[in-house]
Amino acid sequence: MKLTKEVVLAALSNLTLPNEGKSIVESGAIKNLQIFGADVEIDVEIKIPTLQYKKRVEVDCIKAIHDHAFEKSKVKVNLIVNAPKKKVEIKGDPIPGVQNIIAISSGKGGVGKSTIAANFAVGLADLGYKVGVIDADIYGPSMHIMFDVEGKNPEAINVEGKSKIKPLESYGVKLISIGLFAQTQQAVVWRGPMASKALNQLIWDAHWGELDYLIVDLPPGTGDVHLSLVQSIPLTGAVVVSTPQNIALADAKKGVSMFQMESINVPVLGIVENMAYFTPEELPKNKYYIFGKEGAQALAEQLGIELLAEIPLVQSVREAADAGRPAILQDGTPISIELLKMTKKILNAVKKRNTNLAPTKAVEITHSRGCSTKK
């Protein structure tokens, strides 16, 4: 039998691709067919890019030609992947009932960003504000520990016919964290789109009610979660946390730069210098500048932003975080006084920002090299 295109197509018409209701020929998946004597070369378009699927299509095509056309034919199958691109949906609307959204960021991990965020949130609640916290540090959540809600599960509630998550409440602060949904010893190993989707759910699937301030504890650095956040919601402003160490300050500068990009344009409320100096409990008036002195002050002056606080390195802060009771609740202690000063200074920065600047717009990614604000 002479091998022709008609014979090969007739052989392939016996083959139906997985998840397709038509034969490989009827579906139009055969994009090109060449015959060289007894040899066959075909181009097949597929919509599923997995290695297992590719191998199955290749083997099935070869088998169909051998069984129904020519058993000794040498068959080459070229696979063309035309999979629909999955787009992570990010919403850019304000959160109903939430007045101000403050991002707490850091260029480097380990500078105490989450500790600052937790104490700031509790400080606001103590001042009479309605406060919520989103632990957006997807890969290293810690807020559920700092607020002593580890092991507790948020409830699902019905809000206007939709199922919503009821945030847990501790010290007058509403809280949602990925740490409440993952097992204690379970590592969160997600690619960027999955982390972005998780952030989207933490924001929009929770029922926050009326809030004066929603605090977002970001992961360290500048990456997918940060970009997803500025796409998701219009931030009132950002606070950057750093230690006085030059290495930490170099990354803090990048963090400030990210928010100040023309395409993102989120107001930076200022810098908090954490672990500014060490004060032993038995020598409360002594200051030891372990990580350097006034590094954040110099950076703030260089960038033209405000230094919001210089928080000392005190053992009780670590103990309070581990115990799930933020140090700002240690009324009358030097550290609680400093943390309360920080809270009030950030408050003033927010009020100044709201008086002098228009509301921030959520960012829309327009192409691979940049972004623009939504109109």
**Is 130:210 a contact under the CB 8 Å cutoff?**
yes
Strands of the chain, DSSP E? 30-36, 39-46, 74-81, 98-106, 131-135, 155-159, 162-166, 168-170, 173-177, 211-217, 237-242, 268-278, 307-313, 363-367, 370-373
Assign 17 to helix, strand or coil.
coil
- Which portions of the chain are predicted below pLDDT 50? 86-91, 365-370, 372-373, 375
Map out the domains of the chain as residue ranges: 5-81, 98-373
Burial label for 55, CB within 10 Å (0-12, 13-18, 19+), is: exposed
Query: Any alpha helices (H) in 110-169, and if so which ranges?
Result: 113-126, 143-146
Q: Specify which residues 270 forms β-bridges with.
A: 239
Pairing relationship of beta strands 131-135 and 155-159 according to DSSP bridges:
unpaired
H helices, E strands: number in the chain: 10, 15
Handedness of CA 252, 255, 257, 259 (dihedral sign): negative
Query: What's the CA gap between 28 and 31, in Å, rounded?
Result: 7
Q: Which amino acid is at 123?
A: G
Q: What is the pTM of this model?
A: 0.69
Q: Give, in order, the Cα–Cα distances in Å from 291 to each of 111, 136, 150, 248.
A: 11, 27, 32, 10
Spatial contact of 115 and 274, defined as CB atoms under 8 Å apart? yes
Q: Tens of pLDDT along 234-253? A: 889 999 999 999 989 988 88
- By DSSP bridging, strand 173-177 and strand 39-46 are unpaired
Give the distance from CA 263 to its chain's centroid: 18
Assigned architecture for domain 5-81: 2-Layer Sandwich (3.30)
Longest dimension (CA), the chain: 99
In whole angstroms, what separates CA 185 from the centre of its chain? 20
* Res 359: pLDDT: 74
Helix, strand or coil, per DSSP, at residue 247 = helix
Question: What is the CATH number that goes with domain 98-373?
Answer: 3.40.50.300
pLDDT value of residue 183: 62
3 state SS of 122: helix
Please give the C-alpha separations between residue 103 and each of 38, 157, 318, 329, in angstroms, as whole numbers. 66, 27, 22, 22
SS3 337: helix
Instruction: Quote the pLDDT of residue 186.
Output: 63
